Amino acid sequence: MNRARSAVLGVMTVGSLLSPLAGHATEGALGRPVAGTSVSANVAVIPDQPVWIANLQQLYMDGSISSGREVPIGGRTTAGIDAKIAFTLATMMRVWDTGPGAWNFASSFTLPYVWTTVHTSAVFAGPGGNTFSRGASDRASNLYDMYFSPLIAGYHFSKTTHMALSFNVWAPTGQYDKNALANPSLNNWTFVPQVAFTHLMPQYGLEFNAVAAFQFYTRNTATDYQNAPLFTLDVMGVKKFGKWGAGLVMGTIQQLGDDTGPTADRLNGFRGHDFTIGPIITYDTKLGGKAPLSFSLRWVPTVTSKNRLDSTATVMGTATLVF
């Protein structure tokens, strides 16, 4: 069966989002990824025919770090943080005409939009950490940093086992103000080498997917803040019931070292990690009886975290069309 029409490809790493102001052990406490959102159905399946794949994602996160913890934002620190973030990401992927061999290749581009509000109990400035504001709030709504994958290389071990390698880039195209609490940008380049894996067990209606990646950040020149590299791992298992599917998603983010810079040094490197787990439901159909169309909805609350946003309200919905 033709892989281009038999599997609806989950666009790789579109869910590996960053909130400019959340709390995951990097400047602003989140970095680019949100645990449990980068893995999707057939994530490592690159079709063997030239097709376009359109993906639309909506991610909402409502999280916080307690006021007893300091968080680095914009060259200063805050006493805790409460943030609401909504991301809308539109992605187009082109699968190139490389034939039906073991290797197939694709490229993708994502245009993200972010809406966010942030509230802190207090803001500290300068080496001495003098309080200059209490109960500070801010909001932003604009285009976010662009995301693109110049090359995605898919390898088919068999009809049921697949791997995909990719090198992905976040570009600092969003607006950034170091004096703002809410920013539609991280003001740095982020490079993301990634590997994805898919294993299908059609005789049992089962599907397993995993995505592992490293994230390497350049220095934020406006605040002299250097995020440490991150390791991310998301896994998903789904049981199919006809057009419907139900399963479980787990994700973790681990910081591989200490952040550096004036505010990071004051916070002893602000190293962090988190772990999320939650359910997912999927639905597969065909648009006009021909083009595969897939929907999914997941809830991935935080189980444990340190120096990252703790959220019980992390919800993501996706729609993917192959044409």
pLDDT per position as a tens digit, 136-165: 788 999 999 999 999 999 999 999 999 999
Of the pLDDT bands very low, low, confident and very high (cuts 50, 70, 90), residue 270 is: confident
DSSP state of 308: S
pLDDT of residue 70: 74
Q: pLDDT category, 15, cuts 50, 70, 90?
A: very low
- Say whether pLDDT at 133 is over 60: no
What is residue 74's predicted lDDT score, i.e. its pLDDT? 65
- Neighbour count for residue 131 (Cβ, 10 Å): 11
Q: What digits encode the pLDDT tens for the residues 272-284? A: 899 999 999 999 9
* Section 248-254 average pLDDT: 97
Q: Residue 3 belongs to what H/E stretch?
A: helix 3-6
Task: Give pLDDT tens digits for 2-14.
Answer: 443 333 333 333 3
Q: Is the pLDDT of residue 125 over 70?
A: no
Residue 263, pLDDT score = 82
Backbone angles phi, psi at 251, to 5 degrees: -150, 150
Nearest to 184 by CA among 91, 108, 111: 111
Residue 19 — very low, low, confident or very high, per pLDDT cuts 50/70/90? very low
Please report, for residues 107, 206, 218, the alpha-carbon distance to residue 245 in angstroms, rounded to integers and kept in the order given: 28, 9, 40
pLDDT recorded at residue 64:
83
Percent of the chain at pLDDT exceeding 90: 64
- Whole-number mean pLDDT of the chain? 86
In the chain, what are the domains? 52-322 (2.40.128.130)
Q: Give the residue-averaged pLDDT of 161-175.
A: 96
Which residue is listed with tokens 């976040």? 170
The CA R_g of the chain, rounded to the nearest whole Å, is: 20
Measured at the alpha carbon of residue 90, what is the angle toward residues 73 and 170, in degrees to the nearest 5? Answer: 40
> What's the rounded mean pLDDT across residues 303-323?
92
Alpha-carbon dihedral of residues 18, 22, 28, 31, nearest 10 degrees?
A: -30
Pair 11, 53: CB distance under 8 Å:
yes
Distance CA 16, CA 12 (A): 9
Looking at residue 8, what is its pLDDT? 36
Element (H, E) at 262: helix 262-266
C-beta contacts of 269-272 below 8 A and 24+ residues apart? 269/228, 270/25, 270/26, 270/71, 270/72, 270/307, 271/25, 271/228, 271/306, 271/307, 272/23, 272/24, 272/25, 272/26, 272/29, 272/305, 272/306, 272/307, 272/308
124, pLDDT greater than 50: yes
Q: What is the pLDDT of residues 52-101, one digit of tens each?
A: 999 999 999 998 877 667 777 766 777 778 889 999 999 999 999 998 88
pLDDT value at residue 5: 36
pLDDT at 54: 96
